[in-house]
Amino acid sequence: MKYGDSMKPQTRNPHDGETGIPQITSTDLFAAFSAHRRQRTIGYLTQKPAAIPVGDLAEYIALKEGEPSYDRYERILTDLYHNHLPHLTDAGIVTFDEETELVELVVDRSVVTPYLRLTDNAGA
């Protein structure tokens, strides 16, 4: 065992292990949860059994933020495309297919649920 191995959290991606995909670190998870829109994104996706259109996600966030106007929806959609979804994709938490415009949670819900409980987005 290397120095520091006992300090690593149990944050396993269901696709790690023999596949060679790296585990999600607690640092990546804390960074993912550092923005309210990413918290809402993860919270919403934990409630969905499959991939959803990114437009549905933007609409949900606009409603949660209390400004469900078309202009606000467009700004949120742009922010998701250019900021939050790339961040969550790079962390290995979601996948986003720009061609189909579908976003999906790719980690086991049990990985992100403890972090959601620390936010106000636990119930999405």
- Work out the end-to-end distance of the chain between its first and last CA atoms, rounded to an integer number of angstroms: 38
Place of tokens 């999405």: 124
Distance, CA of 119 to chain centre: 13
pLDDT of residue 121: 60
Q: CATH topology for 23-117?
A: Arc Repressor Mutant, subunit A (1.10.10)
Structural element, H or E, at residue 115: helix 109-117
Question: 56 is written with which tokens?
Answer: 């549905």
What is the residue extent of each domain of the chain? Answer: 23-117
Question: 16 is written with which tokens?
Answer: 């790690």
Q: What is the mean pLDDT of residues 9-34?
A: 65
> pLDDT per residue over 50-92, tens digit each?
999 999 999 999 999 998 899 999 999 999 999 999 999 999 9
- pTM for the whole thing? 0.78
pLDDT-derived band at 22, boundaries 50, 70, 90: low
